[in-house]
Amino acid sequence: MYHKLIVIFIFVFSLLSCSNNKDIEYQINKDKVDPYKLYEEGFNAFEKGDYFYAEKKFSEAELKFKVAEPAAKSAIMSSYSLYGINFYTEALENLERYLKKYPASFLI
């Protein structure tokens, strides 16, 4: 008799402890970063010789741009930054990805 009562108590307690009255909502990242600002930060780091940081900023800017032309320039600068830190294989892979993603840009 007590075993059934204990099992029911544990079951009810576990159901109540799992319930949460808070509504879970997806929140959009409100601190949207301007891709031109990211590109500028990358370019400033590139001029200072901090190629690793510049590559990260150029890659992030490429993802944030909605227009293809500045995104393509960011991809080129990202590859050049990789080349600057002697990551030749990664730079080549990045350029091959650039050619596949932006095929019209090298025809200009």
User: What confidence tier does 26 reach under pLDDT thresholds 50, 70, 90?
Assistant: low
Percent of the chain with pLDDT over 70: 74
Residue 44's pLDDT is 96
Give residue-wise pLDDT tens across range 30-65: 557 889 999 999 999 999 999 999 999 999 999 999
Residue 30's pLDDT is 53
Does pLDDT of 28 surpass 60? no
Taken in order of first residue, the domains within the chain and their CATH numbers are 35-107 (1.25.40.10)
pTM, two decimal places:
0.67
C-alpha angle with apex 25: 23 to 29, nearest 5 degrees?
A: 150
